Amino acid sequence: MKKSFALRVDSDVYDAIERWAADEFRSTNGQIEWILSEALKKAKRYPKKKEEAKKNHEQQ
């Protein structure tokens, strides 16, 4: 399930994200989601999916 929320960003930052998204053939929203996901993975804070969590629990 996806949640919606308002996000305020500097117009120069938004323009840079918009250009980056176009270079990657993504929507601006999709690019922001990708950036956030990559940052979470890098910080080792990306949430486990329910199926992976269940599988790991069954293996214990």
Asked whether 20 and 29 are in contact (CB, 8 A), the reply is no
Average pLDDT over residues 20-49: 95
The residue range of the domain holding 29 is: 12-59
Establish if 4 belongs to a structural domain. no
Establish if 27 belongs to a structural domain. yes
CA angle 44, 47, 19 (to 5 degrees): 75
Establish if 5 belongs to a structural domain. no
Asked whether 31 and 20 are in contact (CB, 8 A), the reply is yes
Average pLDDT over residues 17-42: 97
Q: What value does the mean pLDDT of the chain take? A: 90
pLDDT at 18 over 60: yes
The number of distinct structural domains making up the chain is 1
Establish if 1 belongs to a structural domain. no
- With b for 16 or more beta-carbon neighbours within 10 A and e for fewer, the 1-10 pattern comes to eeeeeeeeee
Q: What is the pLDDT of residue 9?
A: 97
For the entire predicted model, the pTM comes to 0.76
Establish if 3 belongs to a structural domain. no
Cα radius of gyration rounded to whole Å, the chain: 16
